[in-house]
Structure 1
Amino acid sequence: MEDQISTLVLHLGSFDLEIPQSILVWFVLCIVFAVFFIVAGKKIEKADPTQAPKGIVYIAEECYNIVNMVCKGNLKETTMHYLPVFGTLILMMGAANLTGLLGLQNPTSNVSFNATLAICAFLMIQYHGIRKAGAKARFKELCEPMFFLFPLNVIGEIALPLSLTMRLFGNILAGTIITMLVYTLIKSLLPIGVIGLVVTPFLHAYFDIFSGLIQTYIFFTLASFFLGQQVATEE
């Protein structure tokens, strides 16, 4: 491991595997949320439905309400079918974007991580669209309103994962860089630079909390909207 825990290096014979801190943070979050979901599930099974929820049951219920608020308007009657995957990723990305408050590297500041999530969302949209209507209907949809617009429609479809990736990456990375520059300036101007610590709570409040949660909301609102276009019944 390097002097700074920014990258974990695993030596596998003659091959060195470098794992960025952002991926390590995501791995830890996977373990934490897995434990949370298991414990919450057991508590919910034993909970008395006639009593007001409390503790971890109340937290789980509020998490469900938040996820439902993000997805239900887009997924409509299919919400419950896709809620497990969207719910898990929404909660984990929201938590991941808050890790900057602990001085850790946000997983979403890694463009490869964001691209992986965006491509998975894109493939899920295409797969379920074809599964519901069939490949012929999906191809026909890409040819609307005229056949010669097919290439442009394909480009529009491919633009979705690219847009999701770069929007999330740009906003989160910008906040990380600005915050890092402020701390570097404070350190270089010590002891006078200590005054700058008055500003840092507001930076974290905006970039780590407000911007992080807003970007999570936007990412999954768009993903659920385009999925809903393929699988939900039009009103």
Structure 2
Amino acid sequence: MENQISELVLHIGSFDLELPQSILVWFGLCIGFTIFFIVAGKKIEKADPSKAPKGIVYISEECYNLVMWIVKGNLKETTMHYLPVFGTLTLMMAASNLIGLLGLQNPTSNVSFNATLAVCAFIMIQYHGIKKAGVIARLKELCEPMFFLFPLNVIGEIAIPLSLTMRLFGNILAGTIITMLVYTLIKLLLPVGVIGLIATPFLHAYFDIFSGLIQTYIFFTLASFFLGQQVAGEE
């Protein structure tokens, strides 16, 4: 673990750009998923629809069904329009939450990374809210049901990216810290500490798999819900 690259420092003139391991891992995931989507797209184009899908085509189909299950109930008739964005980010966030199983730092344990995703979702929500009915209508919406509630409604809107950021950051970072402390304790108590390795698979199963996937589900369920309020029609 000590030999891992914790950060990459780029020297640009007198300016130093520090890239922590979490961001480097995200860049790696971006490259990996780009290759996956290109290969999967070509395979799907050549696939015979009369035969059962297999291999990468089957994996792509299951990923599609998973993302649809998460966002379709909120985005309704606009689901297909936003599926590329939500589909890509959902799969990448799930992978980034699971990357801890390989001993790498989860990108979502970096609060600035989570804030970037949350702010992008917030801007998308507000943009479509204004695009749908105009600035005046959006301001009137923030004054409902009483005009003097406008400050509270504004605070409620600002709370969206804050809650998305801190919920994801807190849960993923907590899992990373607890797992690290357990491994540190095992190392300090060697050779007796080896017994503690019995518990580590359960810690990874909960924090890296269960909690990671649940937090991905919650993040994009909430993001698609708030967006759906602006773009989806009433049933």
Normalised by the size of structure 1, how large is the TM-score?
0.98
Question: Unaligned regions of 5+ residues in structure 1, if any?
Answer: none
- Could you say what the CA RMSD is over the residues aligned between the two structures, in angstroms? 1.0
What are the superposed Cα offsets for residues 138-174 of structure 1, whole Å, 9 maximum, x if unpaired? 1110010011111110000000000000000000000
What are the superposed Cα offsets for residues 22-54 of structure 1, whole Å, 9 maximum, x if unpaired? 000000000000000011111111111111111
Alignment-derived partner of residue 225 in structure 1: 225
Q: Give, in angstroms, the shift of residue 209 of structure 1.
A: 0.2
What are the superposed Cα offsets for residues 61-82 of structure 1, whole Å, 9 maximum, x if unpaired? 0000000000000000000000
- SS of the aligned residue for 1:195 comes to helix
- SS of the aligned residue for 1:97 comes to helix
Counterpart mapping for 1:115-154 below 5 A: 115-154=115-154
- SS of the aligned residue for 1:211 comes to helix
Normalised by the size of structure 2, how large is the TM-score?
0.98
CA distance in 2, matches of 1:172, 1:199: 19
Alignment-derived partner of residue 109 in structure 1: 109
- Which stretch of structure 1 is more off in the superposition, 220-229 or 4-13? 4-13
Alignment-derived partner of residue 157 in structure 1: 157
Letter in 2 for 1:112: S
Q: Give, in angstroms, the shift of residue 4 of structure 1.
A: 4.7
Aligned residues: 234
CA distance in 2, matches of 1:37, 1:151: 44
Percent identity between matched residues is 86
Letter in 2 for 1:169: F
Q: Give, in angstroms, the shift of residue 16 of structure 1.
A: 1.4
Letter in 2 for 1:194: V
Q: Give, in angstroms, the shift of residue 135 of structure 1.
A: 1.4
What are the superposed Cα offsets for residues 199-225 of structure 1, whole Å, 9 maximum, x if unpaired? 000000000000000000000000000
Alignment-derived partner of residue 180 in structure 1: 180
Q: Give, in angstroms, the shift of residue 130 of structure 1.
A: 1.0
What are the superposed Cα offsets for residues 166-208 of structure 1, whole Å, 9 maximum, x if unpaired? 0000000000000000000000111111111000000000000
Alignment-derived partner of residue 80 in structure 1: 80
Q: Give, in angstroms, the shift of residue 14 of structure 1.
A: 2.0
Moved over 3 A (4+): none
Q: Give, in angstroms, the shift of residue 17 of structure 1.
A: 1.1
Letter in 1 for 2:55: G
- SS of the aligned residue for 1:98 comes to helix
CA distance in 1, matches of 2:17, 2:48: 49
Alignment-derived partner of residue 44 in structure 1: 44
- Which stretch of structure 1 is more off in the superposition, 9-18 or 145-154? 9-18
Question: Unaligned regions of 5+ residues in structure 2, if any?
Answer: none
Alignment-derived partner of residue 95 in structure 2: 95
